[in-house]
């Protein structure tokens, strides 16, 4: 690509790249483009560089990611030269830093300040963007990059009457350059997010009276600011490059210790000690990383919330004020938490008062103050710390028109849609820095910004090398990315809060989780993966023709991916290479590490009559008043492994959610008891449970079966045997990723036979231990092969997309339906063989689990006379 010369005013009429914004992102991008010979210009609304740190000059503004981390890594000299004066640098210091970078690299000469971009239109014929500014001129470019910031458009004030106020109104995100002196003034601050939390203590030092209007109290704790911690500085100075490299391979872009335990795997005392240490650290990120499940599990998160609530109560003297300041309506980290300097203590000062807008909402701002539903206040100044139209605000504020005049604002009407947060279909050669769908605001943004700049830079270099003119993501790739972003968010607690991450702070904004919560490291790997796979999901056009490498970079559910990574990290053995004893020991150890599952009314162990002697069972009884139906449950483990303990959390779950007694049967295992022992035991157990329903405290006649994997196999077989034997009546069967056939040649074995936990080799190992080849085709081993499936109980067959058993499960559901059985299949998108029983681990399966529990509940609602129907079916003689 040829560089096109700028005109003399520094304003290029036509350049390779237009960059909008001269904050952290724009400055680095400009540097890289110039270094690589792309002509470029940055258009910046402000009259200087700095972005966030130009606009947010409110008292107390500073970063809350430590400055050592929240700084550029791309200039090794800068890293050595620049010494931060504080752990968390103030806004003026960060602004000086960015100004220094601009000077050092002479970046200002390519920036047009005081220039707002108002529109941009893709000219398909010329393959150029025309970028319009508020000066009425246009700049044409091949690539148009919005480095416009995630938090750069202050929210339009949505406080009624705000325009009436005759005193001074200030916005934290647009603070006057000359500063504000509040001495002797009666000041109101509306908003208690990070900007409010930082500014309130400083404003209180000046003001005669300060009144804080709070809608939602926030989790905050002392920042423990001071000089840069010596240990951290020593670590950084010893190996800056190594330190930065480590930061890139973390969840949030800051080196913090990765948790390994769940919150309730340790004692309460140990947990509190961990939280105390986190509290004293003054580090924003450590609470979220205290245990693996803090952002995923209600109870784990609540333990953090309670700890922090105690701290607030201890800091604030007046109990009523303390209660008002105590967050109760959202989990920790689901709205961005804060770190502060004397925030809560400020409310102990006699001239500071708090107004809880939940108790007395603002009725209107008046000429002289604020009226709530209960009182009138008079002020000299009102400070709006009411936040931003985050992530999308600055992008859609520009009238961007892509291919065929497609309006970006319209395309994103129901929420932003991007591929990797960096491009969006329909808008060729248009990039967003830290756009929606990228880690951005959930990370140390310096790290995320650099990664995006590097990726876009490399993409442009690639295009130049390959003589490509136009790049655009494919709809398939974009749809899948949007799905993946949502999948990642949905397994966390974050979408539950009314946060700006969800767009919930801006009236009328669609409720969509905006950033990518999969983490910086994972995201970086995905972006690298996209490139390594030949720019997967992108279509290019140029002199060498059109190349479209359509595809999806991540299909797996994020929890399945994490689980599989964990297995690799732990060096988990391939079970099929172990002896049976070692395999059982390994399975038992893995089972012991599971979260316990929900509490039930009663758990007791007993014995029932199996086909060849007594079998152990474990009974789970709901805490609700009976009579309950009963579920005969069969655990997974390939007929070789597993026991009631291994599936204990899942049985508890079924007990609670299906509101049923669950009897988990420890049927005989191979190789000690080979085929048909497990199948015969399953049927014997079903019969015994039906016969002893009253003794078990269950309602007679309300019996269903359920099983996972090999347990699904014996559950299916038990239904067939019951049909053929004329009873007992079974109201329904829920088969979770069941083995239904011994044929390992179905496509799902080829597609998912390696790398998704249950492998083809392991399935072979299971079969070899369980049944001789000649026996495997028996319907008692391969229930799909029964001559007729008519007359079987209604069925829900759950299959998972990334499971070798997927296709035989689907085949069974289809065959059941064909035979007239009320059967349906539900497939877990992106899930693996163990997703569904993974209670409190595989959170992506929450919906599917709930669905199968409600299927059981429905089956047990009334006894159904299937056995009777079956008796009339001549084909049911198959198993006789
Ligand atoms: P910005 O710094 O927002 O720069 C975007 C620029 O684009 C702005 O200068 C804006 O004027 C310009 N612009 C936008 N639209 C147009 C247009 N149409 N035409 C022309 N110019 C336009 N992140 C952290 O990781 N750690 C922190 O501690 C931290 N502290 C923060 C504190 C505050 C008060 C705020 C508001 C945010 C903080 N952030 C923090 C997030 C912060 O926004 C990013 O870290 C980073 O500064 C963003 O840089 P950027 O270049 O992407 O965007
Ligand atoms: P914010 O987190 O969105 O907080 C805005 C506050 O104003 C909230 O308390 C909100 O209440 C309240 N509010 C909004 N509209 C209101 C209305 N109409 N009436 C009454 N109250 C209203 O915005 P922010 O504090 O500017 O912070 C935004 C983000 O910028 C932060 O989350 C952070 O990422 C970044 N930031 C970082 C720092 C730092 O420490 N480094 C400092 C400032 C900002 P509700 O919660 O009820 O909506």
Instruction: Kindly report the pTM of this predicted structure.
Output: 0.94
DSSP 419: B
- CA 604 / ligand 2 centre spacing (Å): 51
HEC string of 560-576 equals: HHHHHHHHHHCCCCCHH
- CA 193 / ligand 2 centre spacing (Å): 4
Q: What is the mean pLDDT of residues 480-492?
A: 98
HEC string of 78-102 equals: HHHHCCCCCCCCEHHHHHHHHHHHH
pLDDT band at 156 (very low <50, low <70, confident <90, very high): confident
pLDDT band at 836 (very low <50, low <70, confident <90, very high): very high
- CA 235 / ligand 2 centre spacing (Å): 33
- pLDDT higher than threshold 80 for residue 381: yes
Q: Does residue 392 line the site of ligand 2, with CB under 6 A? A: no
Residue owning tokens 């919150």:
263
Q: Please tell me the predicted confidence (pLDDT) of residue 781.
A: 98
Query: Helix, strand, coil proportions of the chain in percent (round to 5)?
Result: 40, 20, 45
pLDDT digits (tens, 9 = 90+) for 596-620: 999 999 999 999 999 999 999 999 9
Q: Please tell me the predicted confidence (pLDDT) of residue 545.
A: 87
Q: Does residue 148 line the site of ligand 1, with CB under 6 A? A: yes
Sheet holding 168-171, edge to edge: 168-171, 381-384, 186-190, 209-214, 352-356
- CA 218 / ligand 2 centre spacing (Å): 10
Q: Does residue 336 line the site of ligand 2, with CB under 6 A? A: yes
Q: Please tell me the predicted confidence (pLDDT) of residue 243.
A: 97
pLDDT digits (tens, 9 = 90+) for 790-830: 999 999 999 999 999 999 999 999 999 999 999 999 999 99
Cβ burial 219-230 (10 Å sphere, 16+ → b, else e): bbbbbebeebbe
Point out which residues pair with 140 in neighbouring strands.
Answer: 14, 130
- CA 687 / ligand 2 centre spacing (Å): 62
Q: How many residues does the chain have?
A: 880
Which atom belonging to ligand 1 lies closest to the Cα atom of 65? 28
Point out which residues pair with 468 in neighbouring strands.
Answer: 542
* Strands 399-401 and 117-123, sheet pairing: parallel
pLDDT band at 257 (very low <50, low <70, confident <90, very high): confident
Closest Cα to atom 2 of ligand 1? 51
pLDDT digits (tens, 9 = 90+) for 294-330: 999 999 999 999 999 999 999 999 999 999 999 999 9
631, 693 in Cβ contact below 8 A?
no
Closest Cα to atom 6 of ligand 2? 191
- CA 191 / ligand 2 centre spacing (Å): 6
Q: Which ligand is nearest to the CA of 29?
A: 1
> Cα–Cα distances in Å, from 134 out to 17, 519, 613, 701?
19, 37, 86, 77
347, 220 in Cβ contact below 8 A?
no
Q: Does residue 57 line the site of ligand 2, with CB under 6 A? A: no
pLDDT band at 520 (very low <50, low <70, confident <90, very high): very high
Q: Does residue 334 line the site of ligand 2, with CB under 6 A? A: no
Compute φ and ψ for 538, nearest 5 degrees. Answer: -120, 145
- CA 57 / ligand 1 centre spacing (Å): 13
pLDDT digits (tens, 9 = 90+) for 525-579: 999 999 999 999 999 999 878 999 999 999 999 999 999 999 999 898 999 999 9
Q: Please tell me the predicted confidence (pLDDT) of residue 543.
A: 83
Q: Does residue 88 line the site of ligand 1, with CB under 6 A? A: no
Closest Cα to atom 33 of ligand 2? 194
Q: Does residue 330 line the site of ligand 2, with CB under 6 A? A: no
Which atom belonging to ligand 2 lies closest to the Cα atom of 505? 48
Q: Which of 27, 51, 55 has most ligand 1 atoms within 8 Å of its beta carbon, as the pocket-test mutant?
A: 51
Closest among 340, 495, 480, 494 to 420, alpha carbons compared: 480
551, 477 in Cβ contact below 8 A?
yes
Point out which residues pair with 635 in neighbouring strands.
Answer: none
Q: Which of 55, 156, 194 has most ligand 2 atoms within 8 Å of its beta carbon, as the pocket-test mutant?
A: 194
Which residues have a Cβ under 8 Å from the Cβ of 20 and sit 6 or more positions away? 26, 42, 43, 44, 117, 131, 144, 145, 146, 147, 148, 398
HEC string of 572-641 equals: CCCHHHCCHHHHHHHHHHHHHCCCCCCCCCEEEEEEEECCCCEEEEEEEECCCCCCEEEEEEECCCCCCC
**Kind and range of the H or E run holding 855:** helix 846-861
- pLDDT higher than threshold 60 for residue 11: no
């Amino acid at each position: 690509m040829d560089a096109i010369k700028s005109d003399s005013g520094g304003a290029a009429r036509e350049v390779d790249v237009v960059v909008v914004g001269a904050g952290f992102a724009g400055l680095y991008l400009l540097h890289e483009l110039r270094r690589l010979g792309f002509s470029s210009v940055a258009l910046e609304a402000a009259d200087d560089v700095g972005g966030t740190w130009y606009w947010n000059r409110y008292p107390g503004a500073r970063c809350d990611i430590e400055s050592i981390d929240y700084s550029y890594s791309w200039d090794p000299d800068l890293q050595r030269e620049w010494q931060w004066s504080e752990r968390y640098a103030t806004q003026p210091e960060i602004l000086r830093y960015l100004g220094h970078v601009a000077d050092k690299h002479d970046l200002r000469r390519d920036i047009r300040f005081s220039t707002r971009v108002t529109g941009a239109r893709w000219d398909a014929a010329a393959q150029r963007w025309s970028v319009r500014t508020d000066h009425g001129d246009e700049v044409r470019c091949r690539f148009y990059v919005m480095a416009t910031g995630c938090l750069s458009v202050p929210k339009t004030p949505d406080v009624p009457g705000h325009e009436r106020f005759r005193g001074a109104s200030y916005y934290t995100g647009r603070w006057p350059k000359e500063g504000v002196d509040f001495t002797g003034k009666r000041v109101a601050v509306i908003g208690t997010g990070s900007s409010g939390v930082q500014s309130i203590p400083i404003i209180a030092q000046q003001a005669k009276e300060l009144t804080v209007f709070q809608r939602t109290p926030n989790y905050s704790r002392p920042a423990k600011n001071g000089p840069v911690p010596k240990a951290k500085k020593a670590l950084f100075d010893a190996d800056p490059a190594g330190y930065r490299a480590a930061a890139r391979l973390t969840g949030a872009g800051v080196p913090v210790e990765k948790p390994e335990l769940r919150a309730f795997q340790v004692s309460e005392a140990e947990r509190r000690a961990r939280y105390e240490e986190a509290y004293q650290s003054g580090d924003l990120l450590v609470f979220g990383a205290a245990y693996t499940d803090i952002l995923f599990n209600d109870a784990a998160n609540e333990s953090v919330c309670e700890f922090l609530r105690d701290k607030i109560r201890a800091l604030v003297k007046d109990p009523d004020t303390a209660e008002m300041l105590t967050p109760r309506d959202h989990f920790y980290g689901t709205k961005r938490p804060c770190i502060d300097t004397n925030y809560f203590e400020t409310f102990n000062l006699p001239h500071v008062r708090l107004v809880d807008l939940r108790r007395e909402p603002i009725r209107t701002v008046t000429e002289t103050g604020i009226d709530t539903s209960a009182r009138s206040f008079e002020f000299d100044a009102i400070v709006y710390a009411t936040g931003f139209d985050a992530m999308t605000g600055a992008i859609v504020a520009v009238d961007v028109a892509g291919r065929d005049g497609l309006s970006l604002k319209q395309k994103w009407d129901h929420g932003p849609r991007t591929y990797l947060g960096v491009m969006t279909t329909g808008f060729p050669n248009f990039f967003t820095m830290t756009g929606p769908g990228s880690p951005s605001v959930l990370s140390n943004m310096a790290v995320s910004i650099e990664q995006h700049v590097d990726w876009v830079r490399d993409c442009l270099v690639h295009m130049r090398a390959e003589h490509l003119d136009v790049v655009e993501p494919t709809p398939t790739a974009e749809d899948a990315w949007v799905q993946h972003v949502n999948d990642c968010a949905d397994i966390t607690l974050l979408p539950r809060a009314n946060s700006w991450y969800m767009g919930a702070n801006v009236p009328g904004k669609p409720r969509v989780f905006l950033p990518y919560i999969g983490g910086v490291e994972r995201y970086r790997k995905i972006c690298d993966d996209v490139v390594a796979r030949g720019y997967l999901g992108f279509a290019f056009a140029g002199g060498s023709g059109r190349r479209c490498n359509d595809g999806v970079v991540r299909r797996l559910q994020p929890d399945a991916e994490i689980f599989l990574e964990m297995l690799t990290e732990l060096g988990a053995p391939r079970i099929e290479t172990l002896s049976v004893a070692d395999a059982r020991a390994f399975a038992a150890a893995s089972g012991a590490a599971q979260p316990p599952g929900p509490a039930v009314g009663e758990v007791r162990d007993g014995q029932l009559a199996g086909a060849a002697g007594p079998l152990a069972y474990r009974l789970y009884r709901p805490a609700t008043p009976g009579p309950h139906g009963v579920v005969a449950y069969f655990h997974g483990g390939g007929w070789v492994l597993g026991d009631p303990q291994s599936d204990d959390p899942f049985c508890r779950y079924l007990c609670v959610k299906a509101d049923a007694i669950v009897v988990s049967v420890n049927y005989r295992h191979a190789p000690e008891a080979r085929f048909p022992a497990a199948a015969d035991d399953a049927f014997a157990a079903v019969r015994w449970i039906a016969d002893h329903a009253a003794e078990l405290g269950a309602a007679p006649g309300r019996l269903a079966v359920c099983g996972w994997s090999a347990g699904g196999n014996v559950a299916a077989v038990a239904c067939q045997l019951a049909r053929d034997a004329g009873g007992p009546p079974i109201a329904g069967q829920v088969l979770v990723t069941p083995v239904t056939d011994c044929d390992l040649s179905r496509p799902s074995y080829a597609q998912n036979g390696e790398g998704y936990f249950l492998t083809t080799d392991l399935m072979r190992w299971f079969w070899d231990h369980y049944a001789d080849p000649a026996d495997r085709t028996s319907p008692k081993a391969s229930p799909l092969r029964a001559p007729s499936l008519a007359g079987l109980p209604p069925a829900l067959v759950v299959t998972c997309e990334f499971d070798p058993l997927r296709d035989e499960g689907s085949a069974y559901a289809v065959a059941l339906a064909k035979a007239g059985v009320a059967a349906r299949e539900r497939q877990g998108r992106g899930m693996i063989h163990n997703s569904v029983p993974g209670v409190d681990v595989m959170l992506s399966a929450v919906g599917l689990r709930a669905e199968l529990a409600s299927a059981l509940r429905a089956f047990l609602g009334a006894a159904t006379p299937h056995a009777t129907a079956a008796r009339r079916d001549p084909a049911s003689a198959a198993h006789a």
